[in-house]
Every structure is written in C-alpha cells, then in structure tokens.
Structure 1
C-alpha cells in the first residue's frame, strides 16, 4: 500500500466524513419523530372522517319506509355531528339535521335509527346521553 498516493484518509477527513453524516441523519430522525399519540390521533381522525357514518340495517329500513333521502350535505352534517358528539364523550347521541332526527352509536360511528322530527312521539328520545343540533 502506498501511503504517499493518498489512498488513506487523514483523521480530519474521516471525522468530516463520518461525523457530518451522523449529525445529518440524527437531525432528520429527530425532525421526523412524532409522538405515538400524534400519529394515532391523526390516523384515527383521518379514518373516521374518510369512512363517514354507517347505517344499521334497522336505520336503512326506517329511511326507506319513511321515504327519507339524504343529500350529500346532510350526510356531511350528520358526520360532523357524530364527530362533535365523540369529542364530547357521548356514546349514544341524538343528532338533529334539518327536520331529521338520528340516533347514533358514536363509538361505532353507526346510525341506529332515523326519523322525521314530526314523527317522534311527543318529542321524547330515550337511551341517549347527549344531543347535537346541526
């Protein structure tokens, strides 16, 4: 081996090469770190928003029986009401959208039943722990 041909790096060259690489990779990894909670909440919120509310078989039958057709705007507002109920810790929520009333199981993101407000008996809703008016 010929040392005179500069086949070997000096200590300064080695330090510059390896320490700057390590510092750059450390900076990148620190910048890209997000807490587990941040990742979990952003992922779950994105999935929740993307999925929209589901309708149980019973709720779908009620919509059909009562000739209720939801517009896209009403569906979005129903989803918004469900998200708001979830943020407040409500499990079974009454969500009022225009003249429509929905009972929503918030943890499952599922509409349990649906009706027009004019069809409700004496405007009494049972087995709910919160209401959202949108």
Structure 2
C-alpha cells in the first residue's frame, strides 16, 4: 500500500498592524498583536454574564452593545482595567483589558459594586 502526499498551497495574507503597536523592522506584525487587535473589536460576554442577562431578562440592543464597546475602548485608553457599565435598567461589570462583560445585574440589585477602577455611563 502506498500513499501519495499532495503539497498544500497557501497564500500568506498581510495583517493590518494594530493602531497601538508598530510592525517590527521586517514589517511583520506578531500573531499575538494581530490576535489581540482582532479580538478587541467587539465586546465578549462571558458564560456567567450571559446566564445573568437571561435570568434577569436584561435586553440590550446591538446598538447599545456597539456603544458599550466604544466606551470600554475609551476607558481602557484612560487606564481603566475593570469597570461598571451603567445602563438605564442594568449594570454590567466589565474587564476592559479583556474586553469582556463578566457579570450583569439589574439596577435594583446593585447596592455595592467593588473591584472596579472606573465607571461608564451609557445614555438612554
């Protein structure tokens, strides 16, 4: 029995460098930097946060998610790593450095919020 091995042809696509990182001398961007840039485009909702959103019937429109994402980026540029995102009916606890929503609660449940170093208020 013999096997024939076919070569795999692939095309290398240039990556756009992240705005905060410059390419090295060869003009290449590291995989780590490219991945970091690509994953920071949208907010990630953790499984725990999604469960809380579902349990508490907290509805957030795509437009609001886009606004939250933009405000989290702004806050991160100002050095905020962990924030409370305050909406009309809910408060989201976020890791800005990971661009992830960690948990969610309705406004009535949020008496005290700890372990944050910034607050983001999203207008209605």
Same fold? TM cut 0.5: yes
Task: Tell me which residue corresponds to 1:79.
Answer: 69
Question: Equivalent of 1:132, from 95, 120, 124?
Answer: 120
Stretches of structure 1 lacking an aligned partner (at least 5 in a row) = 1-38
Which aligned pairs between 1:1-134 and structure 2 lie closer than 5 A? 39-41=17-19, 47=38, 48-49=40-41, 52-121=42-111, 124-134=112-122
1:21-44 CA-to-partner distances (Å, cap 9, x unmatched) read: xxxxxxxxxxxxxxxxxx431687
State the TM-score, normalizing by the size of structure 1.
0.61
Distance 1:46 1:56 in 2: 19
State the TM-score, normalizing by the size of structure 2.
0.65
Shift >2 Å, 4+ stretches: 42-49
* Secondary structure of 1:41 counterpart: coil
* Structure 1 residues 42 and 103: alpha-carbon distance in aligned structure 2, compared to 1, 3 A threshold: same
Residues matched between the structures, number: 93
8 Å CA contact 1:105–1:111 kept in 2: the answer is yes
* Secondary structure of 1:115 counterpart: strand
Q: Which has the higher helix share?
A: 1
